[in-house]
Amino acid sequence: MSTDDDRPARDRHLPVLMQRCVDLLAPALAEPGSVLVDCTLGMGGHTEAVLEQVPTARVLGIDRDPQALALASARLARFGDRFVPVHAVYDEIGDVVDEHADGAVQGVLMDLGVSSLQLDESERGFSYAQDAPLDMRMDQSRGMTAADVLNTYDERDLVRILRDYGEERFAQRVARAIVRRRQERPWERTAELADVVRGAIPAATRKTGGNPSKRTFQALRIEVNGELEVLERAVPAAIEALAVGGRIVVESYQSLEDRIVKRAIARGTTSSAPPGLPVEPETHKPYLEALTRGAEEADDAELERNPRSASVRLRAARRLRPTPDHLLGTSRKESR
């Protein structure tokens, strides 16, 4: 695949809250042979920091983007078999852990959203600031593109994804403009979409809140890659992959992601016992302990170092005990 940038991965991406992530994960990785699953490997910045600072750890690096896997693998080759790249979507974490780590791991890291690699390469179509084909697939070897969505979804479905995934106040107006424009010619380019969205948003509203296309591009990206459905499956699966004492750290960048993560962690940190019982049964005690007070945000130093950290929300938890059987659900694997 051709790229817009031939620099090595280390020079192309600054990981968000890198040291905070390492500090949260390191206590669980202290024993020799401990395994971290980096569910969203990207260009390998977080994984590199863990492998450098925690010599007892090895990392399984998952990414659906073959280009990211290639760049990260080149970056991390010096660590030998302490790093294993895996081409998969991260809701497949259970299968990955079963294959490479005997069914349980000591750490899980998720750095959600679109990666710097995908944003910075115009040909990928993720950015409204650069004209490119309307692609937006994180794995360009499979699945529908953003152009497919724009050219085939009916107006009602377009409204739904713009409202639900982009939190677009003017979803109806934007969807109507998209349908009207495709009756003239098919959707192909990001610049055309940005222009049409801008025209559909009331002028008074365009004066604040940044580029008016941001919400539409976010909604399309989430739809094309099934991001929220994947995350809904992935967070519980990641928790079930953790051995007792293991830790999960998740970085989210928009409220829809953070809500899913918050709900999954809250489920594990809250007693499931009916109110009013004089003694809490062991099987109803929390199986997770929160390691952050709510969601942590980037401080001023991090913001100055890395402007892309402005919207980050970090949550972390530690596994206290196996998940009680009555909370697993019939479709989950048995608790590790």
- DSSP H helices, the chain, are 18-25, 45-53, 66-76, 93-100, 116-120, 146-152, 155-166, 171-182, 190-200, 203-206, 214-225, 227-241, 255-269, 300-305, 325-328
User: 90 a known binding residue?
Assistant: yes
User: 63 a known binding residue?
Assistant: yes
Give the angle subtended at the CA of 263 by the CAs of 262 and 264, to the nearest 5°.
Answer: 95
User: 44 a known binding residue?
Assistant: yes
Query: Which tokens sit at 266?
Result: 């809250």
User: 46 a known binding residue?
Assistant: yes
Beta pairing partners, 250: 110, 315
Amino acid identity for residue 213 in this structure: S
Contact 309, 215 (CB under 8 A): no
- Looking up tokens 């974490």 gives 93
Beta pairing partners, 86: 62
139 closest CA partner among 264, 225, 70: 225
User: 143 a known binding residue?
Assistant: no
Q: Annotated binding site for S-adenosyl-L-methionine: which residue ranges?
A: 44-46, 63, 90, 111, 118
Q: Please give the annotated binding residues, written as ranges.
A: 44-46, 63, 90, 111, 118
